[in-house]
């Protein structure tokens, strides 16, 4: 333990967090979101208490009923006796901590439950830092002892993909009426889904899109491998009688059983190794870059180089090389 690790206030926060104190949880997430330096020490302290929660990522386009679906899923897991943390990530929103993503149903039915914690996270203009902060926020909820952490995020862009890659199980949501199965490809289904959900399946065309998706999934060259997880397509509705949610919850647990099955040669561990490797990569990339660049080049030199690029005296690649040159000599 370093000398700087000795921070009684932080130790107090960790202690309360481990007891699942809601104020401590909120404070801890604010810390990982807004205070990168303290965050590092804080994560060091809570890291040994993590790794127990099942992390479920959910992604889908705006308007796909994602938040309501995640609410219903949380209620379903509560009925099964599980404690649930929810992180609603919105890379395009400058808002954090508020209730923009939390609709009224969520607030009413879930917020008052002592075994549920809900938090929304926005980008505050810092897209790169969002996946980093989200990963650490998941850790906060994990350390607080929630059985499940549900992460929802909009769309299927790079930061969303990064965010859902931190999950053990990834759900991709689509809805009928926004196009056909080709749109599903566009939404990234083939790449990142462990479970595909056709939400709002009370709408016309739902059976058709589910059928098309199943067909598409059989086109995967590995579709017939026995030792492989076959992405199921589950139809759900957000309207009463809420349909399919129970099946979805069961399928999530089945996916976990599959990953942890000794027959599958430590798939869960292998995935965990990849996740941690990517994470360490990311930390190093940001750190090296920030430390190096500021030491390599001053503001005036920057101005000069940019001028040269704009006036076509040089090009961006050559400019980058000239800045980096001192490093590789």
Task: Look at residues 220, 230, 224 and name the one whose alpha carbon lies nearest to residue 254.
Answer: 230
Task: Return the residues of window 73-112 that contact a second copy according to CB under 8 A.
Answer: 90-94, 100
| Ranges assigned E (strand) in the chain | 54-60, 84-90, 116-122, 148-154, 169-174, 195-198, 233-235
Nearest distance in Å: CB 175, a second copy: 9
Separation between Cα atoms, residue 272 and residue 168, nearest integer Å: 8
Nearest distance in Å: CB 95, a second copy: 9
| ω into 32 cis (within 30 of 0) | no
The DSSP line for 5-26 is G--HHHHHHHHHHHTT-HHHHH
Comparing CB distances to a second copy, the nearer of 233 and 249 is: 233
Task: Return the residues of window 269-308 that contact a second copy according to CB under 8 A.
Answer: 269, 272-273, 276-277, 279-281, 283-285, 287-289, 291-293, 302, 305-306
Task: Look at residues 328, 286, 303 and name the one whose alpha carbon lies nearest to residue 319.
Answer: 303
The reply to whether 239 sits near a second copy by the rule CB under 8 A is no
Comparing CB distances to a second copy, the nearer of 191 and 261 is: 191
The reply to whether 142 sits near a second copy by the rule CB under 8 A is no
Return the residue of 159, 169, 170, 236 that touches a second copy, per CB under 8 A. Answer: 159
3-class DSSP assignment, residue 318: helix
Nearest distance in Å: CB 266, a second copy: 11
Tell me which stretch binds a second copy (CB under 8 A): 24-32, 110-118, 244-252, 313-321.
313-321
Nearest distance in Å: CB 242, a second copy: 20
Q: Is the dihedral of CA 190, 277, 132, 134 positive or negative?
A: positive
Tokens of 285: 């990339």
Return the residue of 11, 12, 47, 260 that touches a second copy, per CB under 8 A. Answer: 47
Tell me which stretch binds a second copy (CB under 8 A): 14-22, 71-79, 110-118, 159-167.
159-167
Nearest distance in Å: CB 288, a second copy: 6
| Ranges assigned E (strand) in 238-315 | none
The reply to whether 219 sits near a second copy by the rule CB under 8 A is no
Task: Return the residues of window 50-69 that contact a second copy according to CB under 8 A.
Answer: 50-51, 61-63
The reply to whether 197 sits near a second copy by the rule CB under 8 A is no
Nearest distance in Å: CB 73, a second copy: 20
Relative orientation angle of helices 245-260 and 66-79, to the nearest 10 degrees: 70
Task: Look at residues 187, 150, 125 and name the one whose alpha carbon lies nearest to residue 54.
Answer: 150
Binding letters toward a second copy, positions 6-35, x by CB under 8 A: ------------------------------
Residue that the structure tokens 């926004």 belong to: 178
- Given a contact cutoff of 8 angstroms between Cβ atoms, the answer to whether 61 and 178 are in contact is yes
Nearest distance in Å: CB 166, a second copy: 11
Q: What is the CA angle 284-289-294, rounded to 5?
A: 140
Comparing CB distances to a second copy, the nearer of 211 and 302 is: 302
The reply to whether 223 sits near a second copy by the rule CB under 8 A is no
Nearest distance in Å: CB 137, a second copy: 14
3-class DSSP assignment, residue 1: coil
């Amino acid at each position: 333990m370093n000398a700087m690790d000795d921070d009684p206030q932080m130790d107090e926060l960790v202690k309360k967090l481990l007891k699942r104190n809601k104020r401590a949880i909120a404070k801890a997430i604010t810390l990982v979101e807004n205070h990168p330096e303290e965050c590092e020490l804080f994560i060091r302290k809570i890291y040994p208490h993590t790794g127990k929660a099942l992390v479920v990522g959910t992604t889908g386009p705006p308007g796909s009923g994602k938040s309501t679906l995640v609410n219903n899923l949380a209620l379903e897991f509560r009925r099964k006796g599980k404690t649930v943390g929810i992180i609603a990530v919105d890379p395009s929103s400058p808002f954090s901590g508020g209730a923009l993503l939390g609709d009224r149903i969520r607030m009413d039915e879930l917020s008052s439950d002592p075994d549920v914690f809900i938090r929304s996270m926005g980008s505050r203009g810092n897209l790169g830092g969002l996946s980093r902060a989200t990963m650490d926020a998941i850790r906060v909820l994990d350390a607080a002892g929630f059985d499940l952490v549900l992460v929802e995020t909009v769309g299927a862009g790079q930061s969303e993909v990064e965010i859902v890659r931190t999950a053990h199980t990834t759900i991709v949501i689509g809805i009928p009426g926004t196009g056909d199965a080709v749109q599903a490809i566009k939404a990234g289904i083939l790449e990142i889904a462990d479970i595909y959900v056709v939400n709002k399946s009370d709408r016309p065309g739902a059976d058709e899109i589910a059928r098309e998706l199943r067909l598409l999934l059989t086109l995967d060259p590995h579709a017939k491998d026995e030792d492989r997880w076959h992405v199921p397509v589950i139809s759900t509705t957000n309207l009463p009688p809420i349909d399919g949610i129970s099946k979805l919850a069961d399928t999530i647990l089945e996916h976990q059983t599959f990953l942890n099955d000794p027959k599958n040669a430590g798939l869960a561990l292998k995935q965990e190794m990849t996740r941690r490797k990517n994470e360490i990569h990311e930390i190093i990339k940001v750190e090296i870059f920030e430390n190096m660049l500021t030491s390599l080049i001053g503001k005036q030199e920057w101005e000069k180089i940019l001028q040269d690029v704009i006036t076509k005296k040089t090009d961006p690649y050559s400019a980058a090389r000239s800045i980096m040159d001192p490093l590789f000599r």
